[in-house]
Amino acid sequence: MKSSTALLDWFAEQGRDLPWRHTRDPWEILVSELMLQQTQVARVLERWPRFLQRFPTASACADAPAADVIDEWAGLGYNRRALNLHRAAIAVRDEHGGTMPHSLTELLALPGVGPYTARAIRAFAYEKDDAVVDTNVGRILARLEGRSLKPRAAQDLADSLVPSGLGWEWNQAIMELGALRCRPTPRCDDCPISSDCSWRLTGHAEPDPASGSAGVSKGQSTFQGSDRQGRGRLIDRLRSGSVRDNDLAAVMGWPDEPDRARRVAATLLLDGLAVHEKEAWALPR
């Protein structure tokens, strides 16, 4: 890409000073990456250091009950991520001596660690030249090409753009560009790589090639009144203590729908986010 240097220079001048950019600790990077998935940066700025103070290492997290990790995750989105983080910490402690593995294969074997997160750990902790493709990067790649991309094509293009030896800088720069400039409604006048953007050169012809392209997140279903909302209400209540069967429907916000409450609560059992004993619900220990 002709404007690679311009992007790196732009990031050096205008990139945000985020605390996880000052660490190369793979555990700290893993925690930040899971927190940043669908959670606003401002909230993560507050909660990331607090979480690491409580669980400073993978082994410390693994040694704690799952309930403690879920409790600390309050307000950070999907509680499954907290449980996956705890499970990944156990695997790091038990299978890797408490040290996060380096290889992509071993990272992908950790619970809850997918292709993006594994590559993010390699790029941001170990400074490898792996390319990461999150929703911001996926949007940029599609617009650069001027077409919707399949997952393999998006990853191949991302890999081809990483300057040798600059994996950390490049990935931070292109993710920052997607977060601040190449938004769903783009700010092309301030974009350092606009001269390479095929979509911009078409005059932003519709449809936006990023729509439906690999890595680009789709809008979520309505939360209000959803099963997800009921699950979240129950987990929030369980953080302060157990819930009796007779109180389940009211706690989940469906006092007149006890059958629905039991059905949705059962999905928490399947996910490992709750236990049911002696006619009461609780967080796993």
Q: Is the pLDDT of residue 23 over 80?
A: yes
pLDDT at 215: 87
Give me the mean pLDDT over the 145-167 stretch: 97
Domain 135-201, CATH 3.40.80.10 — does that match?
A: no
Q: CA torsion sign, 203 to 204 to 206 to 210?
A: positive
pLDDT tens profile 119-136: 999 999 999 999 999 999
pLDDT tens profile 171-210: 999 999 999 999 999 999 999 999 999 999 999 999 999 9
pLDDT at 3: 85
- Choosing from 33, 72, 169, 176, the catalytic residue is 33
pLDDT tens profile 64-101: 999 999 999 999 989 999 999 999 999 999 999 999 99
Residue/partner pairs of 220-225 with CB below 8 Å, 24 or more apart: none
Which residue in 83, 78, 142, 154 sits closest to 112, CA to CA? Answer: 83
pLDDT at 225: 79
Among this protein's residues, is 33 annotated catalytic?
Answer: yes
In the chain, domain spans:
25-124, 135-201, 227-282
Residue 243 phi/psi, 5-degree rounding, is -125, 125
Q: Is the pLDDT of residue 56 over 90?
A: yes
The structure's pTM equals: 0.92
Q: How far apart are CA 79 and CA 94, in angstroms?
A: 23
Q: CA torsion sign, 241 to 244 to 250 to 254?
A: positive
pLDDT confidence band for 220 (50 / 70 / 90)? low
Q: Is the pLDDT of residue 167 over 80?
A: yes
pLDDT at 221: 61
CATH code that applies to domain 25-124:
1.10.340.30
pLDDT confidence band for 1 (50 / 70 / 90)? confident
pLDDT at 223: 76
Give me the mean pLDDT over the 28-56 stretch: 96
pLDDT confidence band for 219 (50 / 70 / 90)? low
